[in-house]
A and B are shown apart, each in its own frame.
Chain A
Amino acid sequence: MSEAREAGSAADGPRLDERVDAARAWRARLVEIALPLAIFAAALGLWEAVVRLRQIPPYILPAPSVIAETLVKDWSVLSASLLVTLSITFEALIAATVGGVALAILLSQSKWIERAFLPFAIVLQVTPVIAIAPLLLVWLEPSTAVLVCAFLVAFFPVLANTALGLASTDYNLVDLFEIYRAPRWKQLVYLRLPSALPYFFSGLRIAGGLALIGAIVAELAAGAAGQGTGLAFRIVEAGFRLNIPRMFAALALISATGIAIYGFFTALSTMFLGRWHESAGGRER
């Protein structure tokens, strides 16, 4: 077909205007990354300047340089706590992913199952974890309680998004599978699961952030019992000792962790969806 041939001839090699386009894309990319970084750096600079000029004492508001210093100085303590928080977050996330996807698949099998189970999931979702944490701490060992807490908050977004994804499969494709008399499991594997993938990934991105929050919140609640060693415990501990720079250092690490988790799942999602889904990567104009 001539239509096909026309499109095929463009794929011979990068022409000059294509290289120019590529260069322009790179510059756009650079601005996209450099601009927010520059503004962030400027904000830090302003903070530093205000603290120094007004001579605000570090136990009220430490300067960024002091926080950085503390990060280096206390790194052995902080990195150990970071590792604890990270491992809780990821264990909770893995459990939430496995459980959420499995339950979503189960719910997608029948309307009745869905009606029977969904209310429980929703009750879990709308109950703030902070309210459950003390109860979990009564029932469970603190380390387990923290894990369960993080799991509970991360679980729902995975479940809800995956269930939505499984249910919003293109109904014409479902018809097509029926026309070819495909058994249910083939419909699930070749059709429903792949088409739920973008929904699953957006659920996972939300769950990643929530798992961290859940871990922190539960640790804060457990911290009073003096058991935890995660980053939230360091914050509580530093607060008791009025070691405000360390409090900020731990806070900075939590923020960095949150950003890293988000970045990780965004990259993962781009890797899987890059070539087919609009939400991943930019759309060429």
Chain B
Amino acid sequence: MSEKPLVALRGIEKRFASGVRALGGLDLDVRQGEFLSLLGPSGCGKSTALRLIAGLSEPNSGAVEWRDGARPEIGFVFQEPTLMPWTSVAKNVFLPLRLQGVAWRDAASRVREALAGVGLAGFADAYPRELSGGMRMRVSIARALVTKPPLLLMDEPFAALDEITRFRLNDDLLALAAQLKTTVIFVTHSVFESVYLSSRIAVFAARPGRVTETIEISAPRVRHSDFRLAPEFSDYARRASAALDAASGARAA
């Protein structure tokens, strides 16, 4: 890739006050327009890396270098839907715009569009507790995308959902990301999910967290469930698993 990466993590070190070395020698380029999965066992520092990119914490050393000098607008989706329970679905999706000083009058149509995009057009006035887990996660995604950010960060967003709901959300996320041309960084500990979604997988090793291998998935960006059954899918899955095994071995070495 000759193009400059959208964001580059260079020699990142992150220690917590507890003494845990969450990240050490982490190097990672994120390319414009890709769907990048951070794949690794739980506790290996994926969330920490994502939070550094989001600007929610600072590395002890190393740098987060943005192509355009500063972090662009981002959307962030947590493992839990993280909605405000006291207000309606529409007002939850409105939040990022409200924080930018947009008035509800001007935001209403964008909110409606974002909700339609995640298939929740009829639920604008519902309250979060009235929705299922999958629907809440859809609201969370609508909220992250309502500003049409160039970069979307997702931290194991579907880990708590059942498989049927997760597969459906996988497909819808791929369609949305392609439609909005958003760069996505997606944290997961599922090999299959990372292969299904990504254009590239960064495999993490633990203690300290770092990228040991990246795997390009050169299948078309918008995929359908038959991809899960394709021989290339299992090839990629095998490669990703092997990379994970190698990474966990790398700790002992």
Interface positions of A (Cβ within 8 A of B)? 1-4, 7-8, 170, 172-173, 175-182, 186, 190-191, 194-195, 197, 273, 275-278
Smallest CB gap from B129: residue in A: A276
Q: Is B96 on the interface with A (CB-CB < 8 A)?
A: yes
| Residue from B99, B128, B132, B135 having most chain A Cβ neighbours under 10 A | B99
| A20 → chain B closest CB, angstroms | 21
Q: With A3-B165, A195-B86 in contact, do A177 and B119 touch (Cβ < 8 Å)?
A: no
- The binding surface of chain A is classed by DSSP as helix
Complex-state Cα separation, A92 to B48, whole angstroms: 49
The reply to whether A194 and B86 contact each other, CB–CB distance below 8 Å, is: yes
**B122 and A276 contacting across the interface, CB-CB below 8 Å:** no
**Residues of chain B with a CB closer than 8 A to A278's CB:** 129
Give the residue of B55, B98, B172 whose beta carbon is less than 8 angstroms from that of A1: B172
Once A7-B135, A178-B56 are accepted as A-B contacts, the answer to whether A194 and B99 lie under 8 Å apart by CB is no
Q: Given known contacts A173-B84, A175-B56, is B99 in contact with A186 (CB within 8 Å)?
A: yes
Range for the number of chain B residues in contact with chain A:
20 to 34
CB-based contact B127/A276 at 8 Å: yes
Q: Which residues on A sit within 8 Å (CB–CB) of B87?
A: 194, 276
12 CB contacts below 8 A, A to B, read A4-B120, A4-B135, A7-B135, A8-B122, A172-B80, A172-B82, A179-B55, A182-B99, A190-B98, A197-B86, A273-B86, A277-B86
The one of A3, A182, A186 in contact with B119, judged by C-beta atoms closer than 8 angstroms, is: A3
Within 8 A of A (CB), among B124-148: 127-129, 132, 134-135, 138
CB-CB contacts below 8 Å: B51-102 with A: 51, 54-56, 74, 76, 78, 80, 82, 84-87, 95-96, 98-100
Q: Complex: how many Å from CA A174 to CA B95? A: 12
B76 touches A179 (CB 8 A): yes
Q: Within residues 153 to 185 of chain B, which ones have a CB less than 8 A from any CB in chain A?
A: 165, 168, 172
Q: A1 and B138: CB pair below 8 A?
A: yes
Is B123 on the interface with A (CB-CB < 8 A)? yes
The distance from the CB of A169 to the nearest CB of chain B, in whole angstroms, is 10
- B134 engages A194 (CB within 8 Å): no
Query: In the complex, which residue of chain B has the Cβ closest to the Cβ of A8?
Result: B122
B243 CB to nearest chain A CB (Å): 30
Closest to A272 in B: B86
Q: Which residues of A contact B56 (CB under 8 A)?
A: 175, 178-179
